[in-house]
Chain A
């Protein structure tokens, strides 16, 4: 999971400026790591979509600097839009709200917090930061 990487990310609540300690966000689909983007490209509280081994993955950075990756497919609207949702917390749980019909998903487990019946979950992906050296232009 993501815990080990958080410590390296950014100071509380600050957008990583050009000089911030950077690195590249990588996501694993189980078969290997795919580079997504420099962490400085992520806006805290927002997400991006990435192609990871042919799958669409939504990658988020929260205000505390934690990076999460979940499936980009929204099971409720059947569209690939999760990456465009707003990140926040609900009862302390980090969540993303689907931009279509606003269901909240736990970013750590992918579990939807807004269904009463059958549990619904997004697949979660492991993430890590790889130190940037000269790659960032």
Chain B
């Protein structure tokens, strides 16, 4: 920094004489800069104004493609709620800076408003390069950079059959994947002789090409785009390639690289690089001592313009330090990358092309399996770089080792071989040195993560994420992060006791094995032989669930009755005043008018409060235990059965109307949802299971927020797993694409049984998938390729479930012994519980609050209309 510069801030300068900071560009790096700035003491010296060209504040461009699979603009937003207000930032949306007057130190925005500055930070990013071929600006030609671009592509794609992407790099392939997912015949045209030429070598390029072709995308390499033929209507119609071929197209996406947006800087005379990019020094200062440049618009001291987000974040940190009395430096960064394309594993890191003097290569290629792995090794045996195609599982481990210059944990040839062929069985996080960067988005080392656990006292992964920000960027390191945190906790002697509770030292998964292998059918035997004491409210329901998953007996019979949570015990959901709610199953959310009338009549006759649930069914509230059998008798007589809303079991399979009614639908989503719901109804699991089926990629049923979700494609069904709504939302992962019905069912069967068998107590599928060693690839291998040899077993268990399912409520009504428990008072059957009282609200009942004078509902035996006066207006 330049000491005499008027922008150098004496630490702790009072807020009253605040200096003016103008940030131009509110993209990923701009927002990161603001966060880094306000994280630091001394930031209150600045009054910040942000000029944002786009109509919305910063969003996650890296995950832009997920917009097509349902992530909303809000979901992509990177700005925490209240952030701007909290820090007094003035944010101008849709207000690009048009000129900078360095003499006067002012920025003029579109519309003419002038903003004086003491410090100016440029974070204008880059723009997609569109080769100036004839027809490039025809209707139907797009770039792929902003939410608006994607909105336009989505709208155009609706009337299109064939799409072509110009450019076979990282982004181009992502765009091609998106077009394919929207059902278009898709071409990728790449000028270079192979795909992703910057990141992968020839061998890797071959393997990658096959993978992309397997997705159904047509690949043209070594082919330049010469002209876009435009129809009379002004729309793109054909595409001529330099190899003589002509493609009929309806939609074209240019993804032929990006160029830094340095025009503003050029116009005001700042130094720019020969091939573009605002020249900066190691502190990201431009040739003007009051102006900094960060992110994709800047050219670093190594002469490079970085088109990745992590280097931009490092620059943001650097400037935030500089402006708050600290110092930072950025002189160059790692450009390791991993392709985010479903089903195609590609990663490259370090010196991927083996350009270093005397370096050696270790190769494994198996074109049958579509795997190509290359490691570049120095003569001393250090890892310099690598390319992984088809199996990039080791990327998380190898990249940090490479960057930290650490020793390899095993011989390189062992590292490239597949498991089972002499390859590494378990090389884990322990192989990483402390200096290894685990989270590259936020530049967090393994050492920093360990310190967060040991020195700061973070006791779990969420705490470490919060404290170090590791894992909060692109998220690809979360698995590694979890392992490191847990290892560290264990090393510190923390009680990461895996035992279920004080009565069992086994995990739920271990107990499951024990129960299954030994054929144990009672809690008494299990705790006598494998536990201690009497059990408790933790182990009893957990064991009850295991017994139910395995043997399918009625959950209220014999000893099992004593193990159930109160909800299962009364086959209904306990509500706040001690009353229960009743939810009949409505498979797929499809119900006849007669069904609706029956439910309506029952609710009316028993005076129950009714509400439509989020799972497309109807919940009736306010029933006392005495009423439950009477209500269910009528429901069962009308053909309804238990909805298991009370159980850790399958809840609902939501659906949209799909092809049958919807003009976009490509498959019968309701039919499939009903089939799935009937197949898995009553299946007891470690936690509740939710599902949904959407009739096309528009995803109206929100299948990607479910434990298992299915989305129709024109070729079959895509299966997503591990999604979650609620407190910790998680988008589901694509497990397999374009499955036929039979394969789909089989895969879900196995997924569910594998989950039931190995998850912890009360562990939803989302955390289960997330902590799975080997990740999604492992899961896929287990359920689709039978890599553990357990699929027969899983299939058989599910078959047994399907064959022995019976409706719990019908079976309860048929058995006087089971019915006996449904009384409020064992010594006064027929006496209603006087404490369960209600008052009217919005024409229905609600529980009376303490102090409110409520009325009890009519009980046992009485079937009457509502006894409460309701408002009529």
Contact = CB atoms under 8 A, between A and B. Distances in A.
Interface of A: 13, 15, 34-37, 41, 43-46, 48-51, 56, 59, 62-64, 73, 77-81, 84-92, 94-95, 97, 99-100, 102, 104
Given A43-B562, A45-B562, A56-B835, A50 B827 contact: yes
A35 B566 contact: no
A48 B540 CA distance: 18
Contacts of B502: 90-91
Contact of A84 (B533, B534, B566): B566
Query: Residue among B536, B540, B574, B577 with the most chain A CB within 10 A?
Result: B536
B534 A97 contact: no
Nearest to A72: B835
B541 interface: yes
B826 A50 contact: yes
A92 B533 contact: yes
A128 B835 CA distance: 27
B63 to A, nearest CB: 38
A73 B696 CA distance: 51
Interface string B549-562: 00000000011011
B128 interface: no
B825 A49 contact: yes
Interface string B829-873: 001010110000000000000100000000000000000000000
19 contacts: A15-B559, A37-B826, A41-B820, A44-B562, A45-B534, A45-B559, A48-B826, A62-B534, A77-B576, A79-B835, A80-B578, A80-B835, A81-B578, A86-B565, A88-B503, A89-B535, A91-B502, A97-B537, A102-B537
Contact of A43 (B533, B540, B561, B574): B561
Contacts of A94: 534
A113 to B, nearest CB: 11
B542 to A, nearest CB: 11
Given A86-B536, A89-B503, A97-B537, 7 more contacts: A15-B559, A41-B826, A44-B562, A48-B826, A56-B833, A87-B534, A88-B503
B824 interface: yes
B570 interface: yes
B828 interface: yes
B524 interface: yes
Given A37-B826, A48-B826, A51-B828, A88 B578 contact: no
A89 B536 CA distance: 6
B528 interface: yes
Given A80-B835, A84-B569, A49 B536 contact: no
B574 A84 contact: yes
Contacts of B821: 48
Contacts of B535: 45, 63, 88-89
Most buried by A among B559, B562, B576, B850: B562
Given A44-B562, A45-B540, A97-B537, A13 B524 contact: yes
Interface string B504-548: 000000000000000000001000100001111101110000000
A100 B574 contact: yes
Nearest to B831: A51
B563 interface: yes
Contacts of A77: 576
Contacts of A95: 536
A80 B238 CA distance: 74
Contacts of B824: 49
Q: What 6 A-B pairs come out closest when comparing CB atoms?
A: A88-B536, A45-B562, A97-B537, A99-B566, A79-B578, A84-B566
A35 B409 CA distance: 72
B544 to A, nearest CB: 10
Contacts of B826: 36-37, 41, 48-50, 59
Contacts of A56: 825, 833, 835
B336 to A, nearest CB: 46
Nearest to B561: A43
A104 to B, nearest CB: 8
B641 to A, nearest CB: 24
Nearest to B569: A84
Interface residues of B, number: 37
Nearest to B535: A88
Nearest to A86: B537
A71 B657 CA distance: 51
- Of A35, A46, A92, A94, most buried by chain B (CB within 10 Å of CB) is A46
B830 to A, nearest CB: 12
Given A15-B558, A45-B562, A81-B566, A50 B534 contact: no
B825 A50 contact: yes
A85 B835 contact: no
A45 B563 contact: yes
Nearest to B847: A79
A34 B566 contact: no
A37 B828 CA distance: 10
Nearest to A74: B578
Contacts of A41: 820, 826
B467 to A, nearest CB: 26
Contacts of B825: 48-51, 56
Contacts of B533: 88-89, 92
Contacts of A45: 534-535, 540, 559, 562-563
B536 A51 contact: no
A37 B825 CA distance: 10
A104 B540 CA distance: 14
A84 to B, nearest CB: 4
A35 B827 CA distance: 7
A52 to B, nearest CB: 8
Nearest to A45: B562
A84 B833 CA distance: 14
A15 B562 CA distance: 10
B541 to A, nearest CB: 7
B576 to A, nearest CB: 7
Contacts of B566: 81, 84-86, 99
Contact of A51 (B558, B577, B827): B827
A15 to B, nearest CB: 6
A104 B537 CA distance: 9
A46 B524 contact: no
B536 A97 contact: yes
B534 A63 contact: yes
B230 to A, nearest CB: 68
Contact of A86 (B540, B578, B833): B540
A80 B539 CA distance: 24
Contacts of B528: 13
A37 B574 CA distance: 24
A46 B559 CA distance: 10
B541 A99 contact: no
Nearest to A94: B534
B560 to A, nearest CB: 10
B562 A64 contact: no
Contacts of B574: 81, 84, 99-100
Interface in B798-838: 820-821, 824-828, 831, 833, 835-836
Contacts of B820: 41
Contacts of A46: 561-562, 569
Contacts of B577: 79
A81 B836 CA distance: 10
Contacts of B569: 46, 84
Nearest to A73: B835
Nearest to A35: B827
A99 to B, nearest CB: 4
Contacts of A90: 502, 536
A78 B558 CA distance: 31
Contacts of A85: 537, 566
Interface in B554-605: 558-559, 561-563, 565-566, 569-570, 574, 576-578
A80 to B, nearest CB: 4
